[in-house]
Amino acid sequence: MPPTMQFEPIILASHKWSATPHVPLYLFFGGLTAGLLIVAALAEIAGWKFPRFDPLARVAVYLAIPCAGLGGFFISAHLGKPERGILFPFFFTNYSSWMTWGGWILGSVSLIAIAYGALWYFRAGKGPRTVLALLGLIMAPLLAMYTGWLLSGFGTIHGFTPLWSHKYLPVMFLNSGVTTGIACAGLGLLVARYMSLRWPWVGVSLPSQELSNVLRWTTVVLAGAILFEAYELYSFLTHLAKGSPEKGGPYIYHILTKGDLAPWFWWGFVVPGLAIPLILGLVGIFAQARKPIPALAGAYFSLALIGGLVLRFLIVTGGDMVKQPLPFPPWAAVYGIGAEGGPGAKK
């Protein structure tokens, strides 16, 4: 640990975002909402040619609505003045802040999800549904990536938090949003079909062969997304490990992989969220060729969801643990202070 890293005591732990679960949960549900809308839109488009994907779109958009609500609840609840966060169109006036953009993005995506869900509920035609699905397909990636920009937005100012990299975090959160979205939609489809057998009004009555086909496709796409996420994680960790010690990259790499967060990183995210789902996914692709195996698919989807949740907690907590310290001793001051009227000032 570089000696300057010891200079981190001026922020009280109780003031940090990781002190309560609100912000990590918001990031998770925000990404999940985005992922579900992306899945719904893609399934809706696929449904034009293969109607068996329509139930997946319906389940995904129905799940996106409560997820958006939960995300909004958690981000509002963490505020000192929640009512001002809820009324963001009237209060958020600084458009150089990612939080202002985030308010509008989350608000728009929530409205799209509600309208799209309403079209499904009132059995509107496929045309209007597809229009909203396409709108969702444009806005949802913005929501997932914005959760990364929200944290790494600081990177555009000074880059004090090495784990909140503006280069890696937005893409990683988009990918994780898609991963959790597919997993949640797949799990929802399984549960909805099971419920339909008991309560026909649920209305997801896919024949076994068609369910098997949908699950197989879902499994293939999810496995691809997990593989890509693993690659991103590797690149990100390499970037941190090879970064400048003075900026804290190697320090947070150490904390994540060998230090205080290592058990959560390996046994909360990498093994259950990436490695095991990948194995289950590969097994599922072949095993579910003819008939669905709900237990296998359920475990696969659930673990991918848990991995996404733990990832958000790791990112927020890890970001809180290492903040780039100010240069000390301040040798730079000798060579020009640079303030107005100071020795280094520009006249």
Partner 1 sequence: MALTTARMKFYIDAKRCIECGGCEVACKNENNVPQGIARIRVVTVNEGQPGETNIAVPCMHCSKAPCVAVCPVDALYHRPDGIVHVNKETCIGCGYCLYACPFGAPQFPKGHAFGARGVMDKCTYCAGGPEEPFSEKERKFYGSNRIAEGKLPMCASICSTKALVAGDAEEVAKVVRARMAARGPGGSAWGWETAYPPGRF
Interface residues with partner 1 (CB under 8 A) are 3, 6-7, 9-12, 14-17, 20, 22, 77-85, 88, 91-94, 96-100, 103, 153-154, 157-158, 160-161, 326-334, 336-346
Least separation, in Å, of the C-beta of 149 and partner 1? Answer: 12
- In the complex, what is the shortest distance from the CB of residue 13 to partner 1, in angstroms, rounded to a whole number? 12
Tokens of 1: 């640990």
Nearest to partner 1 of 267, 328 (CB atom): 328
Taking a C-beta distance cutoff of 8 angstroms, is the pair 317, 5 a contact? no
Query: Between residues 3 and 127, which has the closer beta carbon with respect to partner 1?
Result: 3
Side-chain half-sphere CA neighbours of 90 within 13 A: 5
State the minimum distance, in angstroms, from the CB of residue 323 to partner 1: 8
**Do residues 72 and 224 touch, judged by C-beta distance below 8 A?**
no
Per DSSP, 327 falls in state P
* Minimum distance of partner 1 from residue 12's CB (angstroms): 8
Smallest gap from residue 169 Cβ to partner 1 (A) = 13
Residue 125 or 341 having the CB closest to partner 1? 341
Helix, strand and coil in the chain, % to nearest 5: 75, 0, 25
Q: Is 341 left (phi over 0), alpha (psi -120 to 50) or beta?
A: left
| Residue among 309 and 316 whose Cβ is closer to partner 1 | 316
Note whether 318 and 264 are within 8 A (CB): no
- The residue with tokens 């929802």 is 188
104 vs 194, beta carbon nearer partner 1: 104
**How far apart are CB 82 and partner 1 at their closest, in Å?**
5
The CA-to-CA distance between both ends of the chain, in Å, stands at: 40
From the list 140, 157, 118, 150, the residue with the least C-alpha distance to 39 is 140
Count of other CB atoms within 10 angstroms of residue 344: 11
Q: How far is the CB of 168 from partner 1 (least distance, A)?
A: 17
Residue closer to partner 1, measured from CB, 154 or 264: 154
CA dihedral over 13, 16, 22, 25, signed as positive or negative? negative
Q: Which is nearer to partner 1, 19 or 276 (CB)?
A: 19
